[in-house]
Amino acid sequence: MSITTLAGVQSGLLPPSFFTKTTGTSSVQSRCVSFWYISGYPNAPTPDYSTANGSTLTSSPGSPVTGMLPFQDPVSGNSYLARLQVGMAELATYGGALMLADRMWSCGADNSGASFDLSSGTNVTIASPTWPARDIAGSTNGDGVFIAMEVATTFSPSNTVNSTISYTNSAGTSGRTGTLVLSTNSATGNPGGFYIFGLQAGDTGVRSVEGFTANIWTSGSTIGKVQLVAFRPIGMVDLNYSGQTNAADALDVGFPVIPNGAVPFLISTNIVTSSNSPVISGSATWAQG
Amino acid sequence: MSITTLDGALAGCQPPRFFFKGTGITPTATGVPISLWSSAGIPGPGSFDTSTAYGVALSSSSSLVNGQIPHTDPGSGNAYLMKFLAQVSQPGLLLLCDRIWHCGANSAGSAISVTSTSSQTINSNTSGASNNSGSWYARDNNGSSNGDGILLALEVSSGVGSGTPTITVTYTNSAGTGSHTGGFVLPWTASSKTGSFYPIALQAGDIGVRSVQTIQLSNSMSSGQFVLVAYRVLAQVEIDVAATANAVDLLTSGFPRLYNGVVPFLVFIPANTTAPSFCGQYSETQG
């Protein structure tokens, strides 16, 4: 069963899931920010830096993953994103965009269970587990699944650097290399910093991660910690004016399916350069049927 | 079959695709468009071809083309643009386009010379192994290969030198009339950077291009390389203020048809020369 009419959307609407978060101590324009480890509602989970190869994330009825937007699998039929609404009320100058994504894997340690050494500049081995079957096609292949480096505790890189991952693409081809879409630089190592790895030519997603090379800390800087995250974007809403609120409804957001077991979380795709702590508030509304 | 109601659009929604770009994209000058085709990020970079005579007609029907935003043809019915959202770190206009054909070689299969001032033969309408037997794929405004709405641009594939030529492209228009000519819409900027995307004007009365016959530079570009591109604009979003976002949906975009084999890619018209970064959403509905 699936929803194929606007009347079906209306009859399948669930109460909105609300969120309100700050963006941390500061932010940099046009850098992505994940709200996973940012205080507010939903509450922030505790980072894991010791589980070898990280953990896949799946919610189940009555057992949400700490940090996720409230969501529960349907009794029957499918779940959809019916509305995404947000306001960035504290921003002084600019708006931006907010992305809802499905968090599939978090990894703060290599295959030996050691947290990532941000100063090593050498590759560490990771054997990521099989993703949950929540890629674009509902499989574990990874089509539409991307990898990001997420800052969990502050670090202060002294210069522009480029971390890399080695991965297997969604078609099963291994030995691929991902480089950061935006390289890091000073003042970007604040909690929530979310640095997405680009894909090699022809790839549409990531099936697994085999290695990670971090070179983002030098002597004299503040050492922090990062995690690798596998995520699949689901929908976005745009903000084109200062302090604006906006919403995308079922048609406007493209009525994407939310797979069973999803772990919805938020990524701001732009925050103004600011030493303030802007606040975002909003809601996601699911329809099921 | 086609989608004629909002219910139909809703029922046909496809999983959205997303793009993230931000490395190595440097506008040449304010107002000079820049293509994101060859830039790193998500999707991964596309490539240029400078050795295939008559150029390469592009289609995603059998396999995705490196550099394109992913698309899968519908099993039946039609595909339409459902949503196009973009956030850009700099103000400007972001165009979503269908890349129809690109060509970096003359009819002999040698790279187009950036120093020669002689007329160089392209002949995209000559049957070749890689150019759909000399026709665009049927993706013009009317779903035909005639070329209505198909435009030409010169895309810098490797940063060029200090020469400042004008250009004359000889083409056949969408009505089938040959020997029409076009030059740069914008003045050429010396030392244009990789990705710079210079639209080529149409002759009076023309609404598109069916094929390309020749290209001629008025003087040398000194160095570098470019390719010719045939493309159709599908939608555009305006970025009024740096780092803000904007979107069009199925209605505000005009619900453009995405013909089978579409190769979506992005072109940005910058309001300044600061290196921009991009992210956004591309959604289709099919039915």
Using pLDDT thresholds of 50, 70 and 90, give the confidence band for residue A24.
low
Quote the pLDDT of residue A242. 61
Mean pLDDT of B186-206: 97
Q: Give the burial string for B200-228 (b: 16+ CB within 10 Å, else e).
A: bbbeeebbbbbbbbbbbbeebbeebbbbb
Asked if A233 has any chain B CB less than 8 Å from its own CB, the reply is yes
Minimum-distance CB partner of B41 among A4, A5, A181: A181
B126-161 pLDDT tens trace: 999 999 999 999 999 999 999 999 999 999 999 999
Asked if A239 has any chain B CB less than 8 Å from its own CB, the reply is yes
Q: What's the number of domains chain B is made of?
A: 1
How far A225 CA lies from chain B's nearest CA (Å)? 24
In a domain, B281, yes or no: yes
User: Which alpha helices (H) appear in chain A, and where do they start and end?
Assistant: 6-12
> How far apart are alpha carbons A104 and A128 in whole angstroms?
11
Using pLDDT thresholds of 50, 70 and 90, give the confidence band for residue A268.
confident
> How far apart are alpha carbons A254 and A242 in whole angstroms?
25
A202-239 pLDDT tens trace: 999 999 999 999 876 665 566 678 899 999 999 999 98
Asked if B24 has any chain A CB less than 8 Å from its own CB, the reply is no
Query: Which B residues, 73 through 112, put their C-beta within 8 Å of a C-beta on chain A?
Result: 82-83, 85-87, 89
pLDDT at A91 over 60: no
Q: Nearest CA to B35 among B25, B43, B44?
A: B25
Quote the pLDDT of residue B102. 98
Mean pLDDT of B169-193: 97
**Average pLDDT of every residue of chain A:** 87
Minimum-distance CB partner of B7 among A5, A146, A196: A5
Q: For residue B43, is the peptide bond before it cis, meaning its omega torsion is within 30 degrees of 0?
A: yes
Helix, strand or coil for residue B237? strand
Whether the Cβ atoms of residue B150 and residue B199 lie closer than 8 Å to each other: no
How far A118 CA lies from chain B's nearest CA (Å)? 22
In a domain, B17, yes or no: no
pLDDT at B39 over 80: yes
pLDDT at A187 over 60: no
Quote the pLDDT of residue A185. 56
Residues of B within 8 A of A97 (CB-CB) are: 85, 87, 245, 279-280
Q: Nearest CA to A104 among A73, A68, A77?
A: A68
Asked if B252 has any chain A CB less than 8 Å from its own CB, the reply is no
> How far apart are alpha carbons A251 and A242 in whole angstroms?
25
Quote the pLDDT of residue A94. 54
B42-70 pLDDT tens trace: 999 999 999 999 999 999 999 999 999 99
Asked if B258 has any chain A CB less than 8 Å from its own CB, the reply is no
Whether the Cβ atoms of residue A265 and residue A230 lie closer than 8 Å to each other: no
Please answer yes or no on whether B83 and A252 come within 8 Å at the CB atom: yes
How far A216 CA lies from chain B's nearest CA (Å)? 18
DSSP A202: T
Residues of B within 8 A of A96 (CB-CB) are: 87, 243-245
Q: Nearest CA to A88 among B84, B91, B283, B245?
A: B245
In degrees and rounded to multiples of 5, residue B11 shows phi and psi of: -65, -25
pLDDT at A41 over 60: yes
How far B216 CA lies from chain A's nearest CA (Å)? 32
Q: Name beta bridge partners: B208.
A: B148
Quote the pLDDT of residue A33. 84
How many residue contacts between A and B have a Cβ separation below 8 Å? Answer: 159
Query: Which A residues, 268 through 287, put their C-beta within 8 Å of a C-beta on chain B?
Result: 269-270, 272
Using pLDDT thresholds of 50, 70 and 90, give the confidence band for residue A158.
low
Quote the pLDDT of residue A23. 63
The structure tokens 């579409």 sit at B262
In a domain, B3, yes or no: no
Residue-number span of the structural domain to which B32 is assigned: 28-286
Quote the pLDDT of residue A159. 55
In a domain, B19, yes or no: no
In a domain, B213, yes or no: yes
pLDDT at A90 over 90: no
The residue in chain B having the minimum alpha-carbon distance to the alpha carbon of residue A2 is B11
In a domain, B10, yes or no: no
Asked if B218 has any chain A CB less than 8 Å from its own CB, the reply is no
In a domain, B96, yes or no: yes
Query: Which A residues, 138 through 177, put their C-beta within 8 Å of a C-beta on chain B?
Result: 144, 146
Quote the pLDDT of residue A278. 65
B14: left (phi over 0), alpha (psi -120 to 50) or beta: beta
Q: Nearest CA to B85 among A68, A233, A93?
A: A233
pLDDT at A93 over 60: no
**Average pLDDT of every residue of chain B:** 96
> How far apart are alpha carbons B89 and B22 in whole angstroms?
9
Please answer yes or no on whether A270 and B42 come within 8 Å at the CB atom: no
Residues of B within 8 A of A33 (CB-CB) are: none
Whether the Cβ atoms of residue A76 and residue A88 lie closer than 8 Å to each other: no
Quote the pLDDT of residue B156. 98
In a domain, B56, yes or no: yes
How far A72 CA lies from chain B's nearest CA (Å)? 20
Please answer yes or no on whether B240 and A240 come within 8 Å at the CB atom: yes
How far A99 CA lies from chain B's nearest CA (Å)? 9
pLDDT at A243 over 80: no
Quote the pLDDT of residue A182. 80
